[in-house]
Amino acid sequence: MTKKHKLDKVDRQILFDLQKNGRLSNVELAKNAGISAPPCLRRVRALEDAGVIRGYNAEIDPEAVGYTVTVFAFVGLTSQAEVDLKKFENMILSWEEVRECHMLMGEIDFLLKIVSTDWDDFQKFLTSKLTPAPNVSHVKTAVSIRSEKNLPGVPLEIR
C-alpha cells in the first residue's frame, strides 16, 4: 500500500494531465504545469518512484478485440482468515479473465469484474475455475448491459 504523498499544485497538474492522457510529452506536461521540462521529468519520476503513478496503459475497447461479455461476480468465501483471503487473491491474479478484484466489507467478500469473448467462454470460466475454487462458498453474478462511464484514476482537484 502506498503511503499518502504530499502533492503541490504542480504535482496535481501533472497527475491531472497524465490521467487524462498518458501519452502527453514531457514538454506538454511542463508547459501545462508552468515549469520547464527537466524539473517536470524529475517530478514525474519522483511520483513514479513514490508509487503515486503506478503505470501507463492503453484503454482498449473490449468489443473491438472480441470481448463481448462483461460480468460482475459477487463471491463469498467459506473462511475470511487473512491467509485464506490472500490465497484467493493470489489465485485471482493468475486468471486473465478477471480484470478487477475488490475485497468488500459486508455480506460479500469479493467483487470481480470478468470479461469473456462470449457466453460459452464465461460459463466455462464460471464452472471450471471460479465456483470450484478452494474456499469459494457461493457466487452470484450480474451481467453488464452497457457501460456509460468508465473513468480511470481519481477525481483530482487542481487548487
Whichever domain contains 22, its CATH number is: 1.10.10.10
The percent of residues above 70 in pLDDT, for the chain, comes to 97
Burial 73-112 (b: 16+ CB within 10 A, else e): bbbebeeeeeeebebbeebbeeeebbeebeeeeeebbbeb
| 125 in any annotated domain | yes
68 and 27 assigned to the same domain: no
pLDDT of 3 reads 66
Same domain, 20 and 87: no
Q: Are residues 45 and 20 in the same domain?
A: yes
* pLDDT surpasses 80 at 40: yes
Whether 80 has a pLDDT exceeding 70, the answer reads yes
Same structural domain for residues 108 and 77?
yes
Domain that holds residue 116: 63-143
